[in-house]
Amino acid sequence: QQQVKQSPQSLIVQKGGISIINCAYENTAFDYFPWYQQFPGKGPALLIAIRPDVSEKKEGRFTISFNKSAKQFSLHIMDSQPGDSATYFCAASVSNFGNEKLTFGTGTRLTIIP
């Protein structure tokens, strides 16, 4: 059973545009929501993460929006650049003193075109 549903599967955005990737979760016990960025041939790297006590977190051009009542969270990439072309994974976990057993979404392949 897929506990974290991610959409879209692929996304093409023009340079300078806004990229938006959405995730929905089922387990209301989840309390940690990270986004990972993965380039071809590399391992995933943490991009930004949020906990449900805030509705939005921004780091540079990357913003997570979190809607606890709808059990949804999304990644917004402002002023998208070709270097942002990568696969993005959302994830969720129940905090356990650092033992964050992450449940991942299926990934979104983002392509930024000039």
Partner 1 sequence: NAGVTQTPKFRVLKTGQSMTLLCAQDMNHEYMYWYRQDPGMGLRLIHYSVGEGTTAKGEVPDGYNVSRLKKQNFLLGLESAAPSQTSVYFCASSYDRDLNAYEQYFGPGTRLTVT
CB nearer partner 1, residue 17 or residue 31: 31
Regarding 89 and contact with partner 1 (CB under 8 A), the answer is: yes
| In the complex, minimum distance from the CB of residue 114 to partner 1, in angstroms, rounded to a whole number | 27
Among 62, 107, 110, 112, binds partner 1 (CB under 8 A): 107
**DSSP assignments along 73-95, one per residue:** EEEEESS--GGG-EEEEEEEB--
Regarding 59 and contact with partner 1 (CB under 8 A), the answer is: no
Angle at 99 between CA 97 and CA 105, to 5 degrees: 125
| In the complex, minimum distance from the CB of residue 107 to partner 1, in angstroms, rounded to a whole number | 6
